[in-house]
Amino acid sequence: AQTVTQSQPEMSVQEAETVTLSCTYDTSENNYYLFWYKQPPSRQMILVIRQEAYKQQNATENRFSVNFQKAAKSFSLKISDSQLGDTAMYFCAFMIPSGGGADGLTFGKGTHLIIQP
Amino acid sequence: NAGVTQTPKFQVLKTGQSMTLQCAQDMNHEYMSWYRQDPGMGLRLIHYSVGAGITDQGEVPNGYNVSRSTTEDFPLRLLSAAPSQTSVYFCASSYSWTSTDTQYFGPGTRLTVL
């Protein structure tokens, strides 16, 4: 079974600062994918970024980037130039493409990120 | 294109009552799933379906039934609600279960069982 651990229940930073959210995972699989989802107060789950385990290059999406360390099983999210609209719960998630979706997405418990004005 | 829709948005039940949470998607997605989100926890998979007529259990299926008579709809039934089923429920869909297919989530249903 796969597990995802987010060790920071809550973080708070000032607007325009850079913040890094931590995520570690455990799996015996070699082919997998990692995701960061954002859940604002509206409850909508929004995909922020994805990373393929076979790719060494870290994924980036505008102000969002990841630091993927496969050997350490670490997958942190960096948000640059943070904005008030970044305030949300952030979930790290894990997916195995094989198995037909029987395990679905495995989520961490989330980090509540607060951007202070 | 409405994406993934869920009804109702909020529901309060008494212990022992039954109800159905509705989920529909208009993207012709084959893979659909239900998750529950409890305070301090991530989402956990309840049931999933890889196509019309095919359903299977996820991590936490007890107390829930599903069916998939059409590609578009994937209702979740609570047969006899219990306070432990108080949660936020999310439906999700994707074209198939592959790495390249993004999971689209509905807006969620907040269920309270008294």
The pLDDT value recorded for residue B101 is 75
Residues B31, A101: C-beta atoms closer than 8 Å: yes
Cis peptide before A117 (omega within 30 of 0): no
pLDDT, one tens digit per residue, over B39-74 is 888 899 999 999 999 999 999 999 999 999 999 999
- Condensed to tens digits (0 to 9), the pLDDT of residues A48-103 reads 999 999 888 999 999 999 999 999 999 999 999 999 999 999 999 998 887 777 77
B110: left (phi over 0), alpha (psi -120 to 50) or beta: beta
Nearest CA in chain B to A104: B45
B18-42 average pLDDT score: 94
Q: Which residues of B fall within a CB distance of 8 Å from A99?
A: 97
The overall average pLDDT reported for chain A is 93
What are the angstrom distances between the C-alpha of B111 and each of A69, A73, A84, B68?
38, 35, 29, 22
- Is residue B91 over pLDDT 80? yes
Q: How many CB atoms lie within 10 A of CB B24?
A: 19
The answer to whether B31 contacts chain A (CB < 8 Å) is yes
Express the helix, strand and coil content of chain A in percent, nearest 5 each: 5, 50, 45
